[in-house]
Structure 1
Amino acid sequence: MSRFLDSLFKGNTKKRIVILAPLLLIFAAIAVYSMFTPLLTSNETVVNSVQIGTSYEYKAVITPNILYPNGGTVDAGDTIFKKITTAIPLDIKSTIVADQEVVAKGTYEVELLIKANDLWERSFPLDEKRSFDLKGTELSIIDGTFTIDLNKMNRFITQVEEETGIKPSQYVFEVTPNIIGEIQFGGQEKNIDLGDKLIFDYMYDELVLSSEKAFTSVNTFSSVETISNAFFGLPIEQTRIVSTIISILLLLFILITIKNVTPIRNKSTALQSDKINKKYSNRIIQVSQKVSDAQKTIISMYSFKSILKIADEKELPIFCHKMYGDGNAVYFIVDGDYVYDYETVKSTVTTSTEKVSGSEKAYADG
């Protein structure tokens, strides 16, 4: 790690950016991932399943007739003949079966509801309201026989039709075990919600079963386990903070590095010309412009020491012309048709000969 940091801070600008840019992308991706990842995850596990069921069995109490000379209570199919039937006994069983022991509390009341299309409806209790408080895995809420007095219902419907003068085309008989209560388990409560109804279509001369005779619903009790999400062992909340801070620092470092590339280079060249002028002020003559090179051969040197060497050998003065406002300067010596110069702005080493504006210019190392 220490070697990596040492190479990072001592390396050149390009090397720094090449190293830091991928790191920035990685930590930025981690920051975005952590932002969209919830801090907590809830795992729900079913710990107890409760099955609530209701079943109906019914018969018909009939008067002696050609089909049943002795009359009495007989098994009834899906169709009951009104003219020979006086009552309908119903065996209703409502049970609760659970995987684990539960407590069931509440009340129930079995009723018969007569509906005349959308015109009117009337409720008739088939038994008094009862309460229950049970505990176990197999609970019996309702287990009894309830009787529909069909003669009574026929008389009631006939009287309504006579008094109102309205005769609907069809009536509906609904037998409903109204259970109101809750099931308790592990500190949780679930309402007992039964929509089970035994339904008959009441027509002119018959009752026809139009519903199922058994109903089942399932209710579950669950435990919820909350888990803190993590990224490679680090909690998501801390991952957000750390990755965001590192991403910001890396971005700032890259921006500062890019921003300071040019100023640092200019500062170094400017300091170079100031240093030369200060050290050799008695040998340098400042001029406002460079000598015309229309008919001169320009020989550019790679260092100021080369200019000094030539000036000493030929006993010639050194001229200085500041070409730019940022401190860069050109130092040159005029020797007949030759001009030897050194520009502090130069940063590459080249060996070639080219013509510039009609004159020859050569690069050489003194």
Structure 2
Amino acid sequence: MSSIARTPPPKRLSQPLTETLHDTRHDRTMVLDNSNDKQKPKENGPQGLVQRQVVRFSLSPPAHHKSQDKQVPTRAQTVVKSNESVKPRMERKAASGPTTKKEGRAEEGKAEKENVMGLLDRIDKLIDDSRNLRGDIKEGIKKAIKSLRLMAREIKEGNKQENREAQTQTEGEIAEEEKEIEEKEKDTKLTGDLMKELRVQRKIIEKEFKELKKELPKMTAMIEEFKREDEATKKELREALEQGNKAITELKTYASVAATTVKTGERGSKMIEHQTAKYAITVASEGKETSGEVLEEIRKTVDAKKTGLRVDRIRKIKDQRVIVGCESREELERVKEKLKKNNKLRANHNAFEQECPVRKKWDRLARAAVAYC
């Protein structure tokens, strides 16, 4: 579109100039008179009708200006010219191209704001240059332009605030995304290390399992051999216990001694064989049990079938005591240890030793009864 040169305002005429201003957007008609007199209605003809001289504004140039060499630009032409003045700058910016989408949006908004402010300045200048407008109309237009400037500034400030908020929000989102990426990388690294360690441990376990699998037949054979040895040992113990039980003799009573056979010696004297114990201990009760109860407790504790111990002689004495005799010292010690485990019994001395309390008692009585010279 070719630009139209702006013509200077027309010279003041001697005759009053009347123009019609018509606003096509709002369909309004205003009467303007540039004469010194105020607007007055004039009578036209005998009918007494009032004819108003009006000036109409339209987007096309007025008819009486077409005959002139120079034309006054209309508002639309002014806008086109302003856009054309801004267009080269926009084309250069578009040729360079925005680096990012946000920068492109910012540049477009900035161009639009500059375009609006330039248009307002141009309109203000055109209003000042026009001399065929009334002062109150100029003042109203200037107030409207001022309001538009304020609105443009508010929009600009609002856009700045929105840009700052968007930038802050974008930075926060970027920081959160970077944090999430770092956490995912850490988790991935930790998972990889764990999987690597698990693979190493799995190889070690598989290797040890193969070695154990090779040794399994040997271990099974050893277990079977131990079982056979255990069975043989148990069998030997059972046989020994049976033999021990057979060898244990019952306590002889007076009737059994009287019924024993008598052997004849070399000189014809009759001799009775007596099996006497060589080692013995006295056993007492911790409580007030009688000697008979103590004897029963000893028989329960020293059971030949269960323990395999052999007692050759056992009899009751005074003071709730019982004498237990064996043929060997080792056998007596075993019996003594077994009796110590019973909390109801007390076997703490040998009946044939000098420390036996029963022996000390009888020795004391014997010494008191004998008078020494």
Structure (1 or 2) with the greater helix fraction: 2
What's the TM-score once normalised by structure 1's chain length?
0.22
Instruction: State the TM-score, normalizing by the size of structure 2.
Output: 0.21
Larger Rg: 2
- Which structure features the higher share of strand residues? 1
